[in-house]
Every structure is written in C-alpha cells, then in structure tokens.
Amino acid sequence: MINRPKPIAVRELTAAAMLDMSASEFRRLVGRGALPPPKKIGGATRWRVAELEAVLFGHAAKPNEDQDFE
C-alpha cells in the first residue's frame, strides 16, 4: 500500500468538496472574503488546505462571519 502525502494545496472543486459545498457556493464565499483567496503556482490556481482549516477552526479572520457560517 502506498502512503500518499496529505495535500497542502487543492483545486477549487476539491476545496469545495472538503467543505461539503458546491463550487458556486465556495466561489461566493471566497468572493465575499469569508474564505481565503487562492494562490497561483505557475499557471495553477490552488487553495492552501491550512488556510481553509484555519478559518473553520477559528484561527483566521472571517469578514461577515455572522452571515456566512451560522
């Protein structure tokens, strides 16, 4: 069995799936600043898993928090 490393950055669809939401809802929350923006790596657009986790665990600022994650 191969041990795969835990991803440190993921595509939009994977990030949305990690949060159990649609890609359109994920984009809306990113656009509103409730979720972190992506990083560019060469020509790829990725979201840092640690940044997404920080928001969910309360370790990052979340603008409009009362409206987005009730």
Within-domain flag for 69: no
Q: Residue 56's pLDDT is what?
A: 87
Range of the domain at 13: 9-63
Q: Is 20 exposed, middle or buried (0-12, 13-18, 19+ CB in 10 A)?
A: exposed
Number of domains in the chain: 1
Below-70 pLDDT ranges, the chain: 61-70
Q: Is residue 35 part of a domain?
A: yes
Residue type at 63 in one-letter notation: P
Q: Supply the mean pLDDT for the chain.
A: 87
Buried b (16+ CB within 10 A) or exposed e, 24-37: eebeebbeeebbbe
pLDDT of residue 58: 84
